[in-house]
Each structure stands twice: as structure tokens, then as C-alpha cells.
Structure 1
Amino acid sequence: MANTLTHERYCAELDHQVRLFAEALTAAGEDALGHRVPTCPDWTLRHLTEHLGGALRWMGETVRSRASEMVPHDAVPGGSGPGEQAGAPELAEWFGEGARQLVDALRSAGPDAPVWTWSEDQSAAFWARRATHETVIHRADAFRTLDRLDRDFTVAPDLAADGLDEWLQIVCSPQARAHMTSLRKLNTRAGASLHAHPTDMPAPAEGEQPAEWLIEVADGSMAYTRAHAKADVAVRGPMTDLLLTFYRRRSPDHERLEVLGDRGLLDLWLESANFG
């Protein structure tokens, strides 16, 4: 599925998400940098910030140079971070600087500029979308670490809907089937289906697809469509909560979510279809 938002919207949202992440990091202070990230338990908050900041700088160099092949990570200026001795303000400044470089590169390139990616879409538009949603999800990780996820984490519903579209596009792709061996577990449930039903999206205009998703599992493949349809299991709740659930950042047992039908199928899906 093509990007559902404009190129400028992705650039603006990426800038906004980065600012929220950096502000939270600075406000949390030095001690918080050593806190373990519950959703990425091998990382501290410092590691999470260095990972995301390095990824954004790598994407920025890829777009800026109009790369025709994968850019080596060690060739990215400043990509390894400001150093272990850097405090929260210095880390936040490094993080924000790299993100600004990416946003500038994306705006300069425009959506149709040919750029290497790991997907079929070989354009700058791919990186605008991927960087935005990567930042949204890792901001959720940071807010969870700081005990702010339920209290302060919000995402515009249409951005969250686009995030779920992108996530499904990736995990249902032939490339994912080839490289994500965990997806093979779903072969035991060939013929099963799942339905994601947000409760806070407006009704579609005439001719538009609904902001609901039907995921169908086959033997060796998966497919999804935007549709209101019966399924073996349905998950209902606010759009942002659905996005976090499919990324395994929120339990389906959360009070804002409702699961109807085959909970075992949902649990198997969440265990198997996991890439970020």
C-alpha cells in the first residue's frame, strides 16, 4: 500500500516526534539514562537513544547522498553517538541534530528522488515514512521507561493508522516471509483471520476505505485489506493503542482494548509477526 500521508506531513511529524523524545530525555535527567527499557530489555534509555539517533543519521546520509546501495553504518558522520560520558542534554542535542539533518535531506530530495532502500519502494518517500514510524514506536519505548506511556503518550489517529498500514505491509511481504522465520509458526493457523477495529476513527467518506483491517493467514503467506469484516478474532480500541499492541508495546489486556474471539490466535500472531 502506498503512503497515505503527504511527504511534508511525514517530515513535520518526524520533526515533532523527535522534539517530544528529546524533551522527555532532557527533562528526565542523568539518572534516567541508565534505566532499563521494559520493551527492549537489553537496552538502557541511553542505548535506545543512541540506536534511534544512529538510525536516523544513517537514513539521513542515505537520502542526502542519493545512495544506490546500502550505506555502511561506520561511514555515517557522528553515527555512533556523542560518547558514554555525554549527559542527557548532550545526548538529546546529538539526537536532535541528526534528526534535523534527515528532515532537511528528505525535504530537499522530495518524495520521488531515487534512493536505495531495503524494500521494493526505492525512493525517498520510503524513508520519510519509515523514519517517522520508527521514531513513534521508540518514543513509546522511552515514555514507557519513564512511566509516562499511559499518561502522556499520544499520536494523531491518522498517523497511527498509517503506522499500522506500514507495519502490515512489511510483515505480510514476501521479504518478511523469507527472513522472519518466526512467521512460519502461523502456518499452523492457515485459513484464520484477524480484525483490527479502531474506535476513534471517523467514518470513511464515500469511495474511501474504512480505517479497519482484515488480516488473513494462508499456508506460507499472509494478506491484509482495509475492511470491516468478521474474523476469528477482533481487537477493538483507540487507534494508537491498536498500533502499540501490534508492535507489542501494549498488552491486549489493557483496559482500553477489547478482544473478541480466538485469543490464542491473536497471541500467536503477536508472538510471530514481530520485527521492531
Structure 2
Amino acid sequence: MTLLAHDRYCDEIAHQVGQLRALVTSGTDLSATVPTCPDWSLEELVRHTGGALRWVELMVRTRAEEEIPEERVPLGDGPEARGDAGALDAWLAETGEMLVDALREAGPDAKVWGWAGVLNAGFWARRMTHELTIHRADAVFAAGLPYEVAPEVAADAIDEWLQIVEFVQRTEPHDAARELRGPGRSIHLHATDTAPEINAEWVIELTEDVLVWRRGHEKATVALRGPLTAVLLAFYRRLPLDSAEVEVLGERELLEFWLERATFG
């Protein structure tokens, strides 16, 4: 599957950080509960997201050959002051600049430790793009605002999710993951609002041995249809399947079964 260009990921990280900063400084209540991550307030979500960016920046900048413990990341927990939108915004701005600078300086092929079988800075540029893409949606929902994302980014986020689930199934099988597999099971994702060149349709086959997926239009056991952003959010369990924005055709139970068990591990 063709990835986006490294510079495109870097640009999107900068854009997503900017959008998240705008939300932080908009007057939205930082103590508001995030409905899609109910254990977090909006401030805790932002601190988690920024902390992940700083962790990756440190690994990329130092060309880490093994995982760096999160407690070694300077200011990884965010600014000392709590409930201070200005301090949180300044920390997030610095965080985004640091990460984008580190990724651009490294280039996609620089060797860096990773956890999904891809050991280079390009993996982290892509991973952090989609970490931001989804967590900004969480933040937007907490603020009660509409959410938009570029179609090529949304499509790549679905590709990446499937590649990671496939990797976990292959290398770290566990009971919940094994339950996904079986003969005659397939899922079709169908975005209804994109240009043909994006080819925003996917087929996931849950065979007895492995998970297989590809872009394309084919009949399946169950189909999830709707605008691409809605399909993305439903597939990431950010939008309920009974939302008016998506349509489920076929064996809904299989899609629910997938959503309960398809995880990073």
C-alpha cells in the first residue's frame, strides 16, 4: 500500500497540532469529560497526546535503538500548572515544533526503534499523524464541535490500523485476536463521498489462519458504509454503529465482534 510522503505526514502533524491548540485556547472547558475516552478530561487527553509526541521526538532525535521509558521524557507530562490554557497551549506548540523538526531532520529512512516491525522515522511520522488525527476527534467531541480531516489522511489512517492489527495477529496472537479468524467471514468498508483516485473501499478477510485485507469493492459478510470520515471514526470506535452517519449492511454481529477484538495487542 502506498504511503503518504514523509513531508506530507510532517505537514499534517503540524496542522493537527495547530487545530488542537486552537481548541485548547477557544475557551472550551478543559475539565470537560471526553465522551469517547470517558476516563479523561479534555486537559488529560491533550497532555496524553502531547506526551506521546514528546516521547517520539526523543526517540527520533536520539535515533533510539530500543524503547525509551516514558518517564525519561522531559516535560512528558505537560506543564506544571493545571487548568491553564495558555501554559498548555505553549507546551503543545513547542511539542509540535520539536517533533516536526526532528522528523524532517531525520528523514523517513533513519533507523529508529519501533514496535510494529518498521524500524525507521517514517513509521513514527505516520503513527503520530494518526495518533493526532484520532485524538483530535476525541477533543472535538468533548467540545461539541464538528470534525473534519483530509480524505487522504483518513484513508491512510484506516490502512495503518489494518496493517497494525495484521502485524499483531501475526506476531503476538492472543485469545481475543484468534477469535477473529474463521472461514467465510469478511468485512467491507465503503466510503461514499470520495473521489475515485482515493479508492476509499476496503475488504478484510478473516480466514482461519491469517487476517488479509486490500483496497477494493467486493461483497462481504457485512459492510460499513458512509462518508469517509464517519467510516474512519466508526472503525476506530469513535462513532456508534447506530449513528445516522453510517449504515451497516449484512451481519452486524460480525462487525461488532471485530470492533471488540481488533486491537494493537
Could you say which residue in structure 2 is the equivalent of 1:254? 243
Could you say which residue in structure 1 is the equivalent of 2:63? 66
Could you say which residue in structure 1 is the equivalent of 2:43? 46
Could you say which residue in structure 2 is the equivalent of 1:221? 210
Q: Contact 1:157 / 1:200 at 8 angstroms: preserved in 2?
A: no
How much has 1:183 moved relative to structure 2? 2.1
How much has 1:191 moved relative to structure 2? 2.6
How much has 1:180 moved relative to structure 2? 5.6
CA 116–190 in structure 1, closer or farther in 2 if over 3 Å, else same: same
1:90 & 1:210 partners in 2: Cα distance?
A: 42
Structure 2 residue matching 1:236: 3-state secondary structure: strand
Q: Contact 2:169 / 2:177 at 8 angstroms: preserved in 1?
A: no
Q: Contact 2:200 / 2:228 at 8 angstroms: preserved in 1?
A: no
| 1:116 matches 2:113 | yes
Could you say which residue in structure 1 is the equivalent of 2:95? 98
| 1:141 matches 2:148 | no
CA 112–20 in structure 1, closer or farther in 2 if over 3 Å, else same: same
Matches within 5 A, 1:73-222: 73-148=70-145, 152-174=146-168, 178=172, 181-187=175-181, 189-204=182-197, 210-222=199-211
The C-alpha deviation readout for 1:144-199, integer Å capped at 9, x for no partner, is 11111xxx310011110000000010112245762664323324x54300000111
1:172 & 1:101 partners in 2: Cα distance?
A: 31
Q: Which moved more, 1:67-76 or 1:160-169?
A: 67-76
CA 269–42 in structure 1, closer or farther in 2 if over 3 Å, else same: same
Unmatched runs of 5 consecutive residues or more in structure 2: none
Unmatched runs of 5 consecutive residues or more in structure 1: none
The C-alpha deviation readout for 1:20-73, integer Å capped at 9, x for no partner, is 0111011134xx111111111111111111110100000001101111111121
2:116 & 2:259 partners in 1: Cα distance?
A: 22
Q: Which moved more, 1:113-122 or 1:220-229?
A: 220-229
Q: Contact 1:201 / 1:211 at 8 angstroms: preserved in 2?
A: yes
Aligned residue among 254, 263, 269 for 2:258 = 269
Aligned residue among 54, 57, 66 for 1:57 = 54
Q: What TM-score, normalized by structure 2, do the two folds share?
A: 0.94
CA 180–106 in structure 1, closer or farther in 2 if over 3 Å, else same: farther
CA 98–176 in structure 1, closer or farther in 2 if over 3 Å, else same: farther
CA 57–179 in structure 1, closer or farther in 2 if over 3 Å, else same: farther
Identical aligned residues as a percent: 49
Amino acid in structure 1 at the alignment position of 2:255: L
Structure 2 residue matching 1:173: 3-state secondary structure: helix
1:74 & 1:62 partners in 2: Cα distance?
A: 13
Structure 2 residue matching 1:235: 3-state secondary structure: strand
1:33 & 1:179 partners in 2: Cα distance?
A: 38
How much has 1:105 moved relative to structure 2? 0.2
How much has 1:269 moved relative to structure 2? 1.0
Amino acid in structure 1 at the alignment position of 2:262: A
Instruction: Count how many residue pairs are aligned between Structure 1 and Structure 2.
Output: 265
Could you say which residue in structure 2 is the equivalent of 1:12? 11
